[in-house]
Amino acid sequence: MKNVLRQGDARRGDFWYNGRMKFWNREVETMSRDQLAAVQLKGLQKSLKRVWTNEWSRKLLLSRGFGNPEDVKSLDDLAKLPFLTKDDFRDAYPLEMSTVPRQDLREFHQSSGSTGTPVVMAYTKNDLNQWAECMARCFAMAGLEAGDAFQIMPTFGLFNGGFGCYHGCRKAGLFCVPASSGNTERQIKLMRDFHVKGFCSVVSYVPRIIEKLDADPSGNHDIPSIRVGIFGSETFSDEMRKRIEDRLHIECFDIYGMTETGGIGTTGQDCPAHCGIHVWDDQYITEIVDPVTGAPVPDGEYGEVVFTSLTREAMPIIRYRTHDISRIVSRDTCACGRTHLRLDRITGRTDDMLIVKGVNFYPRQVEQALMEIPGVKDEFQIILETRHGITDVTVNVEAEPGVTGHMVAKHLRERLGFLPKGEVFPIGREAE
Ligand SMILES: [Zn+2]
């Protein structure tokens, strides 16, 4: 993994301000690990006491064998606490977990769960401020500063993405372009007309923007002002990142956060060194646990990401199991100067893990393998079918002439350890 800051490129390297890295909150972002540990213990004890005041949560903790918040005297005691799950959020729908009176709530967001009962996160005024602070740190880390135009492409609504960016823009003093999702032509026009420097979207939307730019009848295939792309809620490979960066001449950042932690950006983003996501350690405690046993795993090993919030008021979370798979890359001070730990990009979901022909794998590995084949384009399908408990994988890819099914099959077999079914389609023809 590279750990080198790119400097000096005319369209990149804007993270340096008078030769110094931009920070939103330098004091906190560069705090020593010892100081952070003290902040974390204090925050954990405070959050736990707050959770304990809620009858629903207290019953839940008691039913799982935890009886007294005073028992938590050190950070090591965290592992004694029971986990909180997505199902718990659904059981607590809509506001059973809230620790504040209804009149202290200012906003909520929700994500629809696969079972149909949504997961709700409610915010007090301070919670909204905490969210904005986390987002402002992410923006500064991506090289954005007051006055820069920022286009928000996630939807404004119950989903947290649009409003999270908005609260962050307000805090960071950015010029907010609240485009919301869809209408690619208008997105491009807005970016050009308002000299947009940064934008946020899901990464799978970017190929649509590129396609529109490539086909622009005016012959203008560029968005000259754009420098920064911030992508959330989907995993993407280094290869995909490189293709987007090279085509749009931007630097890509991977932002992290979910409804249950308080939304986009709350659990950090990668920095210009691109060697992991800095999780805001003064706001959350990160653990990696074995997805099967729940036991903590050592730094460097893959497992399920578990978060504990330290400052949130309305619905603090204690040991929330995210189902995301990752690992802690390092707790050492980063090349960017930040001391907050670095989490690897999300490899997959515990519920995505598949066993195909005796091999464990995550769908993202297919994307990574495909992007390594020269001539294979961003458009591809991964079809998973499970019949009688046996999973079959079909991979259809779009590729330039010269890329054969044999080449794709050979590479996938080498990289995945099994051979998916699939076809190669010439560019522009849709797989049926
Ligand atoms: Zn860094």
Q: Tell me the CA–centroid distance for residue 340 and ligand 1, in Å.
A: 8
Q: Tell me the CA–centroid distance for residue 161 and ligand 1, in Å.
A: 23
- Exposed / middle / buried, residue 266 (Cβ in 10 Å: 0-12, 13-18, 19+): buried
Pairing of strands 196-201, 348-349: unpaired
Q: Domains of the chain by range and CATH?
A: 1-352 (3.40.50.12780), 354-426 (3.30.300.30)
Q: What pTM did the predictor assign? A: 0.82
Q: Tell me the CA–centroid distance for residue 203 and ligand 1, in Å.
A: 21
Q: Tell me the CA–centroid distance for residue 22 and ligand 1, in Å.
A: 11
Q: What is the pLDDT along the chain (432 residues), one digit of tens a residue?
A: 333 444 433 334 445 544 557 899 999 999 999 999 999 999 999 999 999 999 999 999 999 999 999 999 999 999 999 999 999 999 999 999 999 999 999 999 999 765 678 999 999 999 999 999 999 999 999 999 999 999 999 999 999 999 999 999 999 999 999 999 999 999 999 999 999 999 999 998 999 999 999 999 989 999 999 999 999 877 777 788 899 999 999 999 999 999 999 999 999 999 999 999 999 999 999 999 988 889 999 999 889 999 999 999 999 999 999 999 999 999 999 999 999 999 998 877 787 767 677 666 767 778 778 888 888 887 788 888 878 777 788 888 888 888 888 888 888 888 877 888 888 888 765 544
Q: Tell me the CA–centroid distance for residue 341 and ligand 1, in Å.
A: 9
- Supply the pLDDT for residue 264: 97
Q: Tell me the CA–centroid distance for residue 25 and ligand 1, in Å.
A: 14
386-393: long-range pairs with CB below 8 Å, 24+: 391/354, 391/355, 391/356, 392/356, 392/421, 393/354, 393/356, 393/366, 393/418, 393/420, 393/421
- Supply the pLDDT for residue 384: 80
Q: Tell me the CA–centroid distance for residue 21 and ligand 1, in Å.
A: 10
Q: Tell me the CA–centroid distance for residue 270 and ligand 1, in Å.
A: 7
Q: Tell me the CA–centroid distance for residue 336 and ligand 1, in Å.
A: 4
Spatial separation of the C-alpha atoms in residues 384 and 420, rounded to whole Å? 10
